[in-house]
Structure 1
Amino acid sequence: MLFRQHDRGMTRHAATLAGFAVVVLWASAFPAIRVAVPEFGAVGLSFVRLAVAAIALIVVGLIMRIRLPRLADLGWVAACGLTGMAAYQLLLNWGELHVPAGTASIIVSAAPLVSVLVARVLFAERVPVIVGVGSLVALAGVTVVCLARSGIGFGAAAWVVVAAMVVQGIYHPLQKPLLRKYSSIEVATYCMLAGVVMTLPFVPVGWAMIVHAGPAGWLSAAYLGLLPSALGFVLWAFAVARMPVALSTSLLYLVPPVAVLISWIWLGEVPLVQEAVGGVIVLLGVALVSQGERLRRALGRPKTENVMVSFPE
């Protein structure tokens, strides 16, 4: 009995460490994009990152003997690959040509409010009042962040990052039908491969920049594909399987502030006061969205199904 309790404690400890590692990896992706995207361009970086991550996940998948997706599920795989991989990468990379990494991470952290709306439309999931309020609060915070800096270039790019946030928010609930049948690593591998295929038609546009990218760009692109994308998905699957949902979700609230800190150390980017205020508002809204069930239980309200919420990297 003592040994079993010790093993469970070690497992929880390992899961917590994996969760913190994911926070750092996903937060570091935003400044790494800022380093790589001027070298590759939005299209080139999207393709290289997705391809590196897909190859790494295929290797892991062969070792773990993951299954092939059924023909009937390929539509969901394509939808996830389009939104969460191809469109998200292209839009985020394009936006980060002008938007600071920390600012981009704050905007993207509002993706759960889109997930709530999509789950309501596609799966008829109830949207409690507290979740609706949280969504409005998060949206207000995103608006504050987007209006923090002046300049036409930044303004347009900030709304491109908002579009990246929207497609990532769509992606999360689209995984639900697949996750009922397949493991997290299987779903990540399928969607990553689909993203590579969907990015291929754009490669001729970015091929010249891919060929002429310098060592710093290739190092950042390889880092993005191997660590935040491939390893991040594997560690997150390990952590979520062994941690309470509330704890894993709360860990992800750390992604934007850690991204801001890494961007400051790595790139010398200092957030504006208005961006910091907007980030706090966004995190408050996301907390209301993802922790609505706990609040309902505390108030003695009936239980409703939660939407799967996670921050992208």
Structure 2
Amino acid sequence: MRTGRAWVAGLVVVLLWASAFPAIRVAAPALGVAGLSLVRLATAAIALLLVAPFAHVRLPERRQLPLVLAAAFAGMTAYQLLLNWGELHVPAGAASIIVAAAPLVSVGTAALTLGERLTATQLVGSAVAIAGVAVVCLVRTGATVSTALWVVVGAAVVQGVYHPLTKPLLRTRSGLEVATYGQVAGTLMTMPLLPLGWHQLAAASGGAWVAAFYLGLLPSAVGFALWGYAVARLPVASSTSLLYLVPPVTVLIAFVWLGERPRLFELLGGLVVIAGVLLVRRGAPTVAAEPSVRGVTGDDERLRLVNLEARAVPEVGR
């Protein structure tokens, strides 16, 4: 029964994260890049802070603050700004396919900064996925890649950097705690941009505000919570496989909601990206279990083991 509920939670996460890309296309033109980023981050932060006392969310340690700020800047502030900007001109389906390559950046960053070994299969998978991203980009713009597409590629890069930055935090903190730190810090770092987007926020339609609140409450806040629940109860291979559904589901939602018609080679490029990322995941070296922390037992030990599993599964789009 618990496994069945975990599968349902994982599929709901896929639906929520896939729907985020079309919702951005609805909200960003009206609220502006900075305005949408702030509203979405603030909504998610408030929702998570309301849950925090009931979920026993702890404050980060002082020594963890630099890492919290770095992760929040990359995975929250920079990611939101870049993706919102890029999706002003890039269709939701194409954006989701490009962002699906973010795990490649995570793997490369972990190799450079954490000393994690890259296997031959991972290198081949990275090359395949990059080729798929190139196909999607060229299908959209021909021989040249537009600035907007480069911006979406930048969003994939900063999201990929986010995951290795959170890895040290997840050794002592739960996924929900790390998500709460990121949303709150990301909101604070985005607030100085409010004057740049105030006039668009004031003039935005009700539909754009609904889309923004939806993004903050469901794909961001609820999505993180459900994903933690699913990862804690499913094998790594199963939870990872669910993430490969995000781009095709995004394409379907964008077609129904926005009338976006994907191009054939764009879909083929998306399949190449997913195949490449799958190779990277399959080629990952086996991670030995970390030794138990002295004095940590019972629920804390179970949480530590859950976090070990969660760290092996990068998020694809949100």
Answer whether TM exceeds 0.5 for this pair: yes
- Mapped pair 1:309 → 2:314: yes
Task: Report the CA distance between 1:133 and its aligned residue.
Answer: 0.7
Q: CA deviation at 1:151?
A: 7.6
Instruction: Write the letter of the residue equivalent to 1:61.
Output: A
SS of the residue corresponding to residue 52 of structure 2 reads helix
* Equivalent residue number for residue 83 of structure 2: 92
Q: Deviations over 1:63-95 (max 9, x none)?
A: 222111100000110011100000000000000
Q: Secondary structure of 1:194's partner?
A: helix
Task: Return the letter of the residue paired with 1:264.
Answer: F
* Cα-to-partner distance string for 1:130-161 (whole Å, 9 max, x where unaligned): 00110111111111111112389972111100
Letter in 1 for 2:41: L
Q: Distance in 2 between matches of 1:191 and 1:149?
A: 33
1:106/1:142 contact within 8 Å kept: yes
**Superposed displacement of residue 231, structure 1:** 0.1
- Is residue 182 from structure 1 mapped to residue 173 from structure 2 by the alignment? yes
Query: Which SS does the other structure have where 1:137 is aligned?
Result: helix
Per-residue deviation at 1:285?
0.3
* Identical-residue share of aligned pairs (%): 57
Map 1:65-76; keep pairs closer than 5 Å: 65-76=56-67
8 Å Cα contact 1:24/1:255 also seen in 2: yes
Contact 1:39 1:209 in 2 (8 A): yes
Q: 1:34 aligns with which of 19, 22, 25?
A: 25
Contact kept? 2:239, 2:313, Cα under 8 Å: no
Q: Alignment partner of 1:50: what SS?
A: helix
Match of 2:160 in 1: 169
Separation in 1 of the partners of 2:251 and 2:144?
A: 21
Unpaired runs of 5+ residues, structure 1, are 1-9, 297-302
Matched, 1:13 2:4: yes
**Correspondence for 1:148:** 139
Q: 1:61 pairs with 31, 52, 57, which one? A: 52
Equivalent residues in 2 for 1:260-279, closer than 5 Å: 260-279=251-270
Q: Corresponding residue for 2:274?
A: 283
Can you give the 5+ residue segments of structure 2 that lack an aligned partner in the other structure? 289-310
Q: Determine the C-alpha separation between the residues in 1 that align with 2:7 and 2:312.
A: 22
Q: Report what 1:299 is aligned to.
A: none
Letter in 2 for 1:124: G
1:198 and 2:203 aligned: no
Distance 1:14 1:131 in 2: 32
> Aligned runs of 1:186-265 on 2, under 5 Å?
186-265=177-256
Q: 1:77 aligns with which of 41, 53, 68?
A: 68
Q: TM-score, normalised by structure 1?
A: 0.92
Deviation at 1:27, TM superposition (A): 0.1
CA distance in 1, matches of 2:253, 2:216: 18
Between the aligned partners of 1:233 and 1:59, the Cα distance in structure 2 is: 14
In structure 2, the partner of 1:22 is: 13
User: Given that residues 290 and 309 in structure 1 are in contact (C-alpha distance below 8 angstroms), is that contact kept between their aligned partners in structure 2?
Assistant: no
| Paired letter, 1:150 | T
Conserved? CA contact 2:2–2:233, under 8 Å: yes
The equivalences for 1:102-121 within 5 A come to: 102-121=93-112
Instruction: Return the alpha-carbon distance in structure 2 between the equivalents of residues 138 and 20 of structure 1.
Output: 24
Q: What is the alpha-carbon distance in structure 1 between the residues aligned to residue 13 and residue 143 of structure 2? A: 34
Q: Work out the CA distance in 1 between the residues paired with 2:189 and 2:252.
A: 33
Secondary structure at the aligned position of 1:147 is classed as helix
* 1:158-204 Cα shifts (integer Å, max 9, x gaps): 11000000000000111100111111111000011110011111111
Corresponding letter in the other structure for 2:131 = A
3-state DSSP of counterpart to 2:53: helix
TM-score, with length taken from structure 2: 0.90
Contact residue 7 and residue 230 of structure 2 kept, 8 A: yes
How big is the shift at 1:307? 5.2
